Amino acid sequence: MVIVLEKNIREDDKQRIRSFLEKRSLKVNEIAGEEETIFGAVGKLSLDPREVEILPGVQRVIPISKPYKMASREFKRENTVVEVRGVKIGGSRISVIAGPCAVENREQIFEAARCVAESGAVMLRGGAYKPRTSPYAFQGLGAEGVKLLREAGDAYGLPVVTEIVSADYIPEMIDYVDVYQVGARNMQNFELLKKLGALGKPVILKRGLSATIEEWLMAAEYLLSSGTNDVILCERGIRTYEKATRNTLDLSAIPVVRSLTHLPIIVDPSHAVGIRDKVPPMGLAGIAAGADGLIVEVHPCPECAMSDGAQSLYPEQFEKMMRDIEVLAPVVGRAVSRRAVKAFKASGSPSQPETASKSPSAESVADYIRRKGGAVCAYSGNQGAFADQAITCYFDNAVSKLPVNSFQKVIEAVIDGNADFGMLPIENSLAGSVYENYDNLSLYEDIEIVGSVTIRVEHSLLAVKGADLDTIKTVYSHPQPFVQCAEFLARHPEWKHVETESTGTAARIVAESGDISNAAIASDVTGPLYHLEVLKTGIETNPLNYTRFVIVAKKGAVVCPVPNFSAVIFTAANEPGSLYKALGLFTKYGLNLTKLESRPIHGEPWRYRFYANIALPSGVAASAVSSERIRSAVNELQTKAVEDNIVEDVRILGLYDSTATV
Ligand code: PEP
Ligand code: MN
């Protein structure tokens, strides 16, 4: 049963409830959520909930109706996020785990780790004890394989996951493994589950070949009730009558599992389909269905693989799939989890990450937050605004949010030190550039761009309980959503439009009015925040509506070790051919000029400042060598081009990794 405690419960009352339950042989787990603190009590004996309900400090008691208790949504409403050495599985991110089926030798696993890290995997997989169907097939390198996996993971900054086939191997694995994988064939090896759970380490629990969802969750219950809180479910295909694929990927399990349990769920498209070319489409389908991530087999040379070669992706195929996931992620309201890629020498041997800035104190965004034990990010608007969602996408919950009421105030908060970061919208896929922020970036020289994140903008019409489309008379929103929802609004010409400073503010006004004739256009996430109901969702005219935000910080505070993107402002000299020569520089370094925008220079009529976005062309993997191109081009623009009087006033707005998240 779940015991919801009173908000201001006294410590001694809490203790009394705990011992009451423990005396009745119930195992008690305390879960402090954002909204409330609960005790989850599970055990063999049944207890009358009324006996607990009357104890001082108890708000209410909810019996758990499912046979799995700790794994059920009733036990814990909030999604569980499993954190493994800074990598999170679950929450607002999509995390991709990749690597070969088996560790075969040092060279192979290092090469695999390099490829998958460069393409954006956040964890390395590789089997060392292989549960093969045939006793004559390659059985894995055993303890030696586990050590090699760890070395390769460490070299490329990736935590490691490997399969455990028997509890007997725990002693030789424990010092090297971050996440244990329980394979499909062992899902119901309850002795293994109990011993593994007792380690308290994260476990990926694959679904058995013919296990029902309930059996799978019961297996998770074994792990949870034995002592670990960190269980990741993995759908890897089930056995059906179909022979065209190795198994049948049960995509419907994802939304079903999502509603039954708080545990994160990932998809293994490799073992599901068994055929290389079919893996990326099913991986993408898994993400579209709402999975928290993927685990994928990638081999530097699939033809030479000692196991599962036919389903292992070529590194290029994996890179392409990662890029496709990047495009899909905002559609499902998520960001792709990325580790800051360490810099490596061209030879492939790992080296220390290089730093871009001369300042020895400069560090990456993630390191900065880690060192400070948290940070603050300012944004314009109220809770539920799109900038608020962008912060969650980029930082997850690593920062606290500071709402202010203008873009300028966001920048001032960063400069004054009231915030470490600021989240500013810079362009919208339909409405174009947010000029105010382009001008702000050129005006405030003490800040720079350290990252970016794109979110899908989906608008809803929200109102208080009891309202419907017929009761509405006035609609509140930011000016942009009024434009973006023009087609829907044209169907209701009688509605009055009132502009607010953000969509969050609109929602707040409507909630405070309590009036059924008012509605707000905002994101549906503002609904629960302001106790509003969604009257209609997806009211934007064009669903391909994305906003790119930039993350700003005080100049020199953080640095990106391997940038792939830069934003520069410059004024071309007032001479024939100067703009042409300036742009030629980007060609010289093989860079992609992805955007060129001009803005009038205040006080100098008919002269313009150019804003350029420059990127490493797609397909160039992030590495010290390739990112050096971007740095050299920017340096040359700043030094030689100024000396040669091609450009004046060059300012680098930022040199960052456009795909990284914290
Ligand atoms: C594996 O991940 O290599 C594996 C053997 O998977 P499964 O247990 O899903 O067959
Ligand atoms: Mn395999």
Give the pLDDT band (50/70/90) at residue 511: very high
Query: Per-residue pLDDT for 142 more than 90?
Result: yes
Could you tell me which residues come within 8 angstroms of residue 377 by beta carbon, excluding any fewer than 6 positions away?
Answer: 391, 395, 399, 400, 401, 402, 419, 420, 421, 422, 423, 551
The secondary structure element, H or E, covering residue 2 is strand 2-5
* pLDDT band at residue 347 using 50, 70 and 90 as cut-offs: very low
Mutate to test the pocket of ligand 1, among 181, 207, 210, 216 (most ligand atoms within 8 A of CB): 181
Among 129, 205, 206, the mutation site with the greatest number of ligand 1 atoms within 8 A of its Cβ is 206
Those residues with Cβ within 8 angstroms of residue 341's Cβ, 6 or more apart along the chain or in another chain: 117, 118, 157, 561, 562, 622, 623, 657
User: Distance between CA atoms of 385 and 538, rounded to whole angstroms?
Assistant: 16
**What confidence tens digit (pLDDT) does each residue in 437-457 have?**
988 988 888 899 999 999 999
Q: What average pLDDT score do residues 590-599 get?
A: 89
For residue 166, give Cα distances in angstroms to 180, 199, 225, 599.
Answer: 11, 14, 19, 65
Residue 248 has pLDDT above 70, yes or no: yes
Max mean pLDDT among 1-5, 66-70, 149-153 falls in: 149-153
- Tens digit of pLDDT for each residue in 7-45? 888 999 999 999 999 998 888 888 877 677 889 888 877
Q: Given this model, what pLDDT does residue 631 score?
A: 83
Long-range contacts of 46-54 (CB under 8 A, 24+ apart): 47/1, 47/21, 49/1, 52/1, 52/3, 52/17, 52/20, 52/21
CA atoms of 385 and 410, how far apart (whole Å): 14
Q: What is the pLDDT of residues 603-618, one digit of tens each?
A: 888 888 899 999 887 6
pLDDT at 621: 59
Question: Which pLDDT tens digit goes with each residue over 271-322?
Answer: 999 999 999 999 999 999 999 999 999 999 999 999 999 999 999 999 999 9
pLDDT reported for residue 637: 86
Ligand nearest to the CA of 235: 1
Examine the residue annotation and report whether 110 is marked as an active-site residue of this protein.
no
How large is the average pLDDT for residues 57-80? 90
Per-residue pLDDT, averaged over 465-492, amounts to: 95
Q: Does pLDDT of 356 surpass 80? A: no
Q: What integer pLDDT is reported at residue 29 of this predicted model?
A: 85
571 has catalytic annotation: no
606-654 pLDDT per residue, tens = 888 899 999 887 666 556 677 788 888 888 888 888 888 888 888 889 9
Residue 342 has pLDDT above 80, yes or no: no
Question: Residue 291: its pLDDT value, please?
Answer: 98
**Which residue in this structure is represented by tokens 């005080």?**
554
What pLDDT does 420 receive? 97
Q: Is 71 left (phi over 0), alpha (psi -120 to 50) or beta?
A: alpha
Residue with the bigger pLDDT between 338 and 290: it is 290
Residues lining ligand 1, Cβ inside 6 A:
101, 127, 131, 163, 183-185, 206, 236, 268, 271
Q: Which has more confidence, 195 or 370?
A: 195
Ligand number nearest CA of 130 is: 1
Confidence of residue 348 (pLDDT cuts 50, 70, 90): very low
Between the CA of 183 and the centroid of ligand 1 the distance, in Å, is 5
Distance of CA 332 to the CA centre of its chain: 11
Q: How confident is the model at residue 2 (pLDDT cuts 50, 70, 90)?
A: confident
Instruction: Please choose, from the candidates 74, 84, 92, the residue with its C-alpha nearest in 3D space to the C-alpha of residue 38.
Output: 74
| Residue 180 Cα to ligand 1 middle (Å) | 12
Q: Please tell me the predicted confidence (pLDDT) of residue 351.
A: 40
Q: What's the rounded mean pLDDT across residues 338-355? A: 47
Residue 161: DSSP 8-state: E
Beta bridge partners of 336: 94
DSSP track, 207-239? PPTT--HHHHHHHHHHHHHHT-S-EEEEE--B-
pLDDT computed for residue 618 by the predictor? 65
For residues 591 and 637, give the distance between their C-alpha atoms in angstroms, rounded to a whole number. Answer: 13
Is pLDDT of 340 > 90?
Answer: no
Asked if the model's pLDDT at residue 353 lies above 60, the reply is no
Question: Regarding predicted confidence, which is higher, 205 or 66?
Answer: 205
Q: Ligand 1, atom 5: nearest CA belongs to which residue?
A: 183
**3-state SS track over 78-96:** CCCCEEECCEEECCCEEEE
Ligand 1 atom closest to Cα of 236? 9
Distance from the CA of 45 to the center of ligand 2, in angstroms? 41
Q: How far is the CA of 297 from the centre of ligand 2 (A)?
A: 7
How confident is the model at residue 280, as a pLDDT?
98
How much is the average pLDDT of 511-525? 96
- As residues whose CB is below 5 A from the ion ligand 2, the structure lists 101, 308
Closest ligand 1 atom to residue 184 Cα is 8
Please pick, among 228, 505, 547, 659, the residue that the annotation labels catalytic.
547
Ligand 2 centroid – CA 271 distance (Å): 6
* 89, pLDDT greater than 60: yes
Mean confidence (pLDDT) of the chain: 90
- pTM for the complete prediction? 0.80
- Name the band, by pLDDT with cuts 50, 70 and 90, for residue 341: low
Say whether pLDDT at 345 is over 70: no
Q: What is the pLDDT of residue 115?
A: 94
**Nearest alpha-carbon partner for 7 in 45, 26, 35:** 35
Q: Across residues 170-190, what is the average pLDDT?
A: 97
Alpha-carbon span 114 to 108, nearest angstrom: 10
Nearest partner of 523 among 480, 459, 461, 465, judged by Cα: 459
Q: What mean pLDDT comes out for the span 557-570?
A: 88
Residue with token string 């499993």: 82
Q: Quick check: 528 pLDDT over 50?
A: yes
pLDDT at 220: 98
